[in-house]
Structure 1
Amino acid sequence: MALLQVAQASVTLGGVDILQQVSIEVQPQSIVTILGANGAGKTSLLRAISGIYPLQGGSIRFAGQEIGNRAPHDIVRLGLSHAPEGRQIFSNMTVQENLRLGAIHRRVKAAELDFIHDIFPLLAQRSKQLAGTLSGGEQQMLCIGRALMAQPQLLILDEPSLGLAPQFVQQIFKVIDTIRQHGLTVLLVEQNARSALRIADYGYVLEHGRISLSGPAQQLASDERVQNAYLGAGHEAAAVAG
């Protein structure tokens, strides 16, 4: 049984159809990536799953429960956590305070912070530092760490490598693989197609608010249509092929 099932989901914002009958599935303990050009609807899909954007049609089921149009904080309590595009950390709060906000609905245990510090040792070193003084890569680590503090079954990551230096990009993708090894499921939106398809089990291509292609990640990586689509979007075909 899929952990997440999105069936014929449609989202309209400001009279514009952003998503049109989108269907995806995410199996437990897998990494699923969604690829697409800017404006394809990737972030809108993640926001609909997280309860930020309302559904106009279709359904979203998580762990067997319908979550379409439920409040975001209820969805977090069910075990779905979202690390948003742009990080959206609280810059005037310390690293530790930001992490604790990820578990605002319950009491934080020391072992939970230890788990985050094991994955991101830099956050332990910077625990009392104001989050706004961190580098971009460190802020992204904090964003992911905060989402993990909710102890999710499914972690949604929206463009985690965007704007990062190459050394941080490699580290972020290594962390995503480590998260899966700890038994978590990951839904990843990422424009770095080569890296995303390398670690993913399954992938979808979203174009103009619709799913145009889907399949095992290795199959998509060698699909000429995927390569052509990313060439048209300003990507190198070689990067998609890996």
Structure 2
Amino acid sequence: MHEFVVAADNPLLELRGVHTHIGEYHILQGVDMCVPRSGLTVLLGRNGAGKSTTLRTIMNLWAASAGTIHFDGENIEAVQTPDIARRGIAFVPEDMGIFSDLSVQDNLRLASISGRLNHARLDWIFQLFPALKRFWLRPGGTLSGGQKQMVAIARAIIEPRKLLLIDEPTKGLAPSIVDNLAEALIELKTHDTTILLVEQNFNFVRSIGDHVAVMDDGRIIHSGSMATLSTDETLQETLLSLQA
């Protein structure tokens, strides 16, 4: 397939020639990707294409075996995960990663660098996810999937972040929760937060994404504006058929 690559001027995040091996498996096979500053970039692709591995490689949860990763002008592929987080990147994994035995309040307090909750920021998060206020003292393990996703994202944004990595947030969620999540992501974009979102639900991301990259077999095979992909049915048929 012809490879489409669109470079961004002064991107916030840039991957060049990134390879990742997990045991004997060669998952990422030369990923070239730019995430422009501000807005929401969507990483699309079928199961097993390497999307989650890309996010985990950015966070150095799985080490890149070759290539470079630059964040805000700094090379980070050899930086330890906690230090990457301190540079302003937050990661919401597919399994959400919340503490089941702790209350919503304690989950957010643990995610705060200072260990204290900023009440102004907390009020803003309650505006994004009003349900959290109702479940504030409830253990995370008793929440529904959609409520856990709210907690996971709230944990990631309890401190101001430059970049938010979110892996498959709509998986298994009811349509009403998906709509609420879309509204929250749109609001986040207005607060100087760049988002890289891994997703398979094209109908969900086509209305909220600004930029898109499509991955297959460990490589980026297309990158460009979401508006272009949303209006080009031939391109959609070519690229999105890979997700089947």
Match status 1:58 vs 2:67: yes
Show the counterpart of 2:145: 136
Task: Tell me which of 149, 155, 158 is aligned to 1:146.
Answer: 155
Q: How far apart are 1:229 and its partner, in Å? A: 3.9
- Is this contact kept in 2: 1:197–1:203, CA < 8 A? no
Tell me, yes or no, if the aligned pair for 1:94 and 1:128 is still in contact at 8 Å.
yes
Give 1:156 shift: 0.7
Structure 1 residues 74 and 106, CA, compared in 2 at 3 Å: closer, same or farther?
Answer: farther
C-alpha RMSD of matched pairs (Å)? 1.4
Aligned partner of residue 198 in structure 1, secondary structure = coil
Matched, 1:8 2:17: yes
Match of 2:199 in 1: 190
CA displacement, residues 194-234 of structure 1 (integer Å, 9 cap, x when unaligned): 22122111111100101111111121232524324433533
Q: Which residue of 2 aligns with 1:218?
A: 227
Number of aligned residue pairs: give it: 234
Gaps of 5+ in 2: 1-9
Question: What is the CA-CA distance between 1:107 and the residue it aligns to?
Answer: 4.1
Output the TM-score relative to the length of structure 2: 0.91
- C-alpha separation between the residues in 2 aligned to 1:225 and 1:184? 29
Hey, what's the Cα distance between the residues in 2 that align with 1:133 and 1:95? 10
Overall identity of the aligned pairs, in %:
36
Structure 1 runs, 4 residues or longer, greater than 3 Å off: 104-108
Give the structure, 1 or 2, with the largest relative contact order (CA under 8 Å, sep 6 or more): 2
* Match 2:243 to one of 226, 230, 233: 233
- Name the CA shift for 1:59/1:105 in 2 (closer, same or farther; >3 Å): farther
Please show how residues 161-172 of structure 1 align to structure 2 within 5 Å. 161-172=170-181
Distance in 2, matches of 1:74 and 1:105, equals 15
User: 1:61-99 CA distances to partner (integer Å, 9 max, x unpaired)?
Assistant: 111111113211101110000111121211100001111
